[in-house]
Structure 1
Amino acid sequence: MKELNIIEADLSNEKHTDAILHVTNEYAKHPMGLGKPLPEDIREKLIDEIQNFPVWFSLIAFYDDQPAGIVNCVYSFSTFNAAKVINVHDLAVLKNFRSKGIGEALLAAVEKKAKETNCCKITLEVRADNRAKNLYERMNFEYGEPKMFFMSKYL
């Protein structure tokens, strides 16, 4: 029987850091990511930079002890609710592990953590052409009113 385990990443555990780097790099290669691998200089410093970012956490999905997916999140704050918010920055499931409920399990684990840490909501951004929109809608994420756009200015 296939076994799925969702665990919070321990950045002192090489198996966890290797999984974060591997899945994040595979996600970066996909058209929904960068469309190319992470640059080598980013791969070399990613874990160190995450360790220095106290509001970050990652949950890793291991399927039969193989890294299958991750969700990278950051805590934010809602002034309108005077409470913490979790923002899902990346949700990625490796191609060979899709359609096994891993994305749903990762989001359910984020929701559990949000409730345990007294967050008022979970946020995420999704591209209009990303098939993961269906997953987010099944997991009761909604489009807000008024309709918002995610904008970026890279420095």
Structure 2
Amino acid sequence: MIVEKIEWSGQVLEADLENSEHQEIVLNMVRAFARDSMGNGQDLSQESREMLIDGLRRHPAVSVFIAFNEKKPLGFATCFLGFSTFTARPLLNIHDFYVGDEYRGRGVGRHILHAIENKARALGCCKLTLEVQENNQTALSLYHRFGFEEAQYDAGAGAVLFRQKKL
């Protein structure tokens, strides 16, 4: 299904995780992102490579978007549907967001974000959320231009912080 047609003769598709071509593209894109300095800085483990697509396919609330120019994948985003208890509505979290080095600054990321926002609006989501490294000025600039703000519940309490505990 074409989610959005874009002027650079490309398109943003929502991946069909049952389609073997899309599976291969998603795996390769996640691996490229993992190797990037703004990702993990190293390739996925063999175990992660073997489990990724099946894990995504089994997840009940995943959407993966792929930007193409002709048949060449340029970037992708992995999103997970969540729920806001404060608004009693769904939200869409952008978990992974990556555009290949050679395609950055050409509008690819912006078009992926538009496709994600269109999906979120169609699902009745109250907001989009994401995590970004503090030193990723390129992504922070893109997100700011697209309307993302520092998350806050109470303006006087400061920013909402994201934490993790590895298991």
Aligned residues: CA RMSD: 1.2
- Correspondence for 1:137: 144
- Correspondence for 2:56: 50
Q: What TM-score do the two structures reach when normalised by structure 1?
A: 0.96
Report the secondary structure of 1:77's partner residue. strand
Q: What TM-score do the two structures reach when normalised by structure 2?
A: 0.89
Specify the code of the residue in structure 2 equivalent to 1:4: G
1:61 aligned onto 2:73: no
Q: Is residue 18–residue 57 contact of structure 2 (8 Å, CA) maintained in 1?
A: no
Match of 2:160 among 126, 140, 148: 148
- Correspondence for 2:3: none
Specify the code of the residue in structure 2 equivalent to 1:150: F
Q: Identity of aligned pairs, percent?
A: 37
Count matched residues. Answer: 155
1:35 aligned onto 2:41: yes
Gaps of at least 5 residues in structure 2 are: 1-6, 153-157
Report the secondary structure of 2:127's partner residue. strand
- What stretches of structure 1 move > 4 A for 4+ residues in a row? none
Specify the code of the residue in structure 2 equivalent to 1:115: R
- Correspondence for 2:31: 25
Q: Is residue 93–residue 103 contact of structure 1 (8 Å, CA) maintained in 2?
A: yes
